[in-house]
């Protein structure tokens, strides 16, 4: 019987799925609002708009909760990208994910690419929240809307960041699949085999020469 160890505590899993579900529904309803004639799902535009705004508030709660948890528990060290230290680890990470080596780099809980993605997601979420509320209630934020270049510019920013989210989610899923099924299962169960990463022979910031 395999010995299991905790990888994702309950609150991390809760915030993960709150944010994942809200982001997916935001992208879907956002695209529907942008191009409702591309595919007919709702009988009117009020429903997708209400769902879109509801998911925006849910995402706001999920992000605030996740950031608070990261700060209070010290989990921030696992997810915040460190430009100097983490950038040095990119070559070995890229070699592994391009199947140029069988050695699994050991960077701790998350690799540099994942940490860069998580840090970028926080920035993108803030941009989406700000631009989303400007588009939702432009008369409440005229100065901020003008600072960003007007409503058309705000709409373009909101649209572009949505596509960046979509592309990064695809990359995120690929990285998790590349890590192995136990990594995917751990976001549901919270557990991972204790010896899962013992096959790696590359330590953080170092590589083993042939």
At 19-65, the pLDDT tens digits run 999 999 999 999 888 888 777 888 888 899 999 999 999 999 999 99
Strand partners, 191: 6
Task: Take residue 140 and report the two structure tokens written for it.
Answer: 């409440």
Q: Are 124 and 162 in contact (CB under 8 A)?
A: no
Q: Give pLDDT tens digits for 7-22.
A: 889 999 999 999 999 9
pLDDT of 167 > 80? The answer is yes
Quick one: pLDDT at residue 197? Answer: 60
CATH topology of domain 4-36+44-193: Fumarate Reductase Cytochrome B subunit (1.20.950)
At 143 the pLDDT is 92
Domain boundaries in the chain?
A: 4-36+44-193
User: Residue range 158-184: average pLDDT?
Assistant: 85
> What pLDDT, on a 0 to 100 scale, did the predictor assign at position 183?
81
**Distance (Å, rounded) from C-alpha 80 to C-alpha 137?**
32
pTM for the structure as a whole: 0.79
pLDDT tens for 193-204 read: 877 765 444 444
């Amino acid at each position: 019987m395999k010995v299991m160890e905790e990888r994702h505590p309950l609150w991390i899993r809760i915030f993960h799925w709150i944010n994942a579900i809200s982001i997916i529904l935001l992208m879907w309803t956002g695209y529907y609002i942008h191009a409702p004639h591309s595919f007919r799902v709702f009988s009117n535009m009020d429903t997708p708009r209400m769902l879109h705004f509801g998911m925006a508030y849910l995402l706001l709660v999920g992000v605030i909760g996740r950031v608070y948890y990261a700060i209070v528990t010290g989990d921030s060290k696992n997810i915040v990208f460190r430009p100097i230290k983490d950038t040095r680890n990119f070559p070995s990470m890229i070699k592994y994910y391009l199947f140029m080596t069988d050695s699994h780099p050991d960077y701790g809980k998350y690799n540099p690419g994942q940490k860069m993605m998580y840090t970028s997601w926080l920035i993108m979420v803030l941009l989406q929240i700000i631009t989303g509320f400007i588009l939702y209630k432009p008369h409440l934020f005229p100065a901020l809307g003008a600072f960003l270049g007007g409503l058309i510019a705000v709409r373009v920013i909101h649209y572009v960041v949505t596509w960046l989210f979509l592309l990064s989610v695809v990359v995120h899923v690929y990285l998790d699949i590349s890590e192995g099924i136990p990594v995917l299962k751990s976001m549901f169960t919270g557990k991972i085999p204790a010896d899962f990463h013992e096959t790696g022979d590359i330590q953080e910031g170092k590589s083993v020469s042939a």
